[in-house]
Amino acid sequence: MNAASRTRAAKVVQYALLTLGALMIVFPILYALGLSLMSGGEAAAYPPHIIPQHFQLKNFVSAVSEAPLGRFMLNSFIVSVIVTLAQLVTASLAAYAFAFMEFPFKKIIFLVFLSTMMIPGESTLIPNYLTIRSWHWINTYQGLTVPFMATAFGTFLLRQFFLTLPHDLFDAARIDGCGRLRFLWSIALPMARPALGTLGVYAFINTWNQYLWPLLITNSTSMRTVQIGIGMLQFQDATTWNVVMAGVVIILLPSLLTLVLGQKQLVKGLTSGAVKG
């Protein structure tokens, strides 16, 4: 075998593996999409159908009317937007302080900050639940959002970005009489747009996907979020899987849309630290 045909053979194998890998990952998603378009009978057929024979959109209507999906989506949307905005504000303020300001115990405070990043949410789940309960915040938007308003990860991400901005810029602005807040608002933040985008995408998807906390902190239909709604749907009749999947597809849309629009930002956020270590 000469070198050229060997390279070509290698390429073929690579493409085959790539296609296989992609199929394995996409298949369950496409299958869910297929089911959501089937009739109840077809969804329960054996051998199972993968591609629907008769496309129908009825399931989407049923999903929305059977469970208060609209209300759940509204709640999730409100909660995700509040948490995302709050994280952007608290993280950029704190990151700015860590990057540009001098104050006593700065290093220690920053270290404590970072170490809280390592503590999993489950460790604080019980005390936070008890606190929220004693404040009578069960079934409220405060209860759903306040515990997630600050982020050590986001602060770290933005601080790293601010540190790459030239310090001269800051000095020049100061000499021109530009105050701290104005500098942050009209110079630092616009320049940090990519990092803010990363944090925003990340925060939104994470909050949208939350399950355990809303499960604990809400028990009325009017305050439940979408992921709980899916949990409620799935325990019903086995022949309504097509409706469940229609609900799943509806709920997935915001996450997938965020992904398509913010893929670059998301990848950057996930990989920050991977390159430099």
- Cβ closest to other proteins, residue 74 vs residue 109: 109
Q: Which of 46, 166, 190, 220 binds other proteins (CB under 8 A)?
A: 46
**Nearest C-alpha neighbor of 165 from the set 95, 240, 63:** 95
In eight-state DSSP terms, residue 156 is H
7 near other proteins, judged by CB under 8 A: no
Identify whether 28 is preceded by a cis peptide bond (ω within 30 of 0).
no
The position carrying tokens 């469970």 is 67
Site string for other proteins, 115-134 (x = CB under 8 A): -x-xxxxxxxxxxxxxx---
47 near other proteins, judged by CB under 8 A: yes
Query: How far apart, in whole angstroms, are the C-alpha atoms of residue 206 and residue 212?
Result: 12
- Cβ closest to other proteins, residue 223 vs residue 242: 242
- Cβ closest to other proteins, residue 55 vs residue 171: 171
**Least distance in Å: CB of 54 to other proteins?**
19
187 near other proteins, judged by CB under 8 A: no
186 near other proteins, judged by CB under 8 A: no
Phi/psi at 101 (nearest 5 deg)? -105, 155
25 near other proteins, judged by CB under 8 A: yes
**Least distance in Å: CB of 67 to other proteins?**
13
Q: Which of 7, 8, 9, 14 binds other proteins (CB under 8 A)?
A: 14
Q: Which of 7, 8, 29, 164 binds other proteins (CB under 8 A)?
A: 29
- Judged on CB neighbours under 10 Å (0-12, 13-18, 19+), 192 is buried
Query: How far apart, in whole angstroms, are the C-alpha atoms of residue 254 and residue 233?
Result: 19
Query: How far apart, in whole angstroms, are the C-alpha atoms of residue 140 and residue 132?
Result: 10
67 near other proteins, judged by CB under 8 A: no
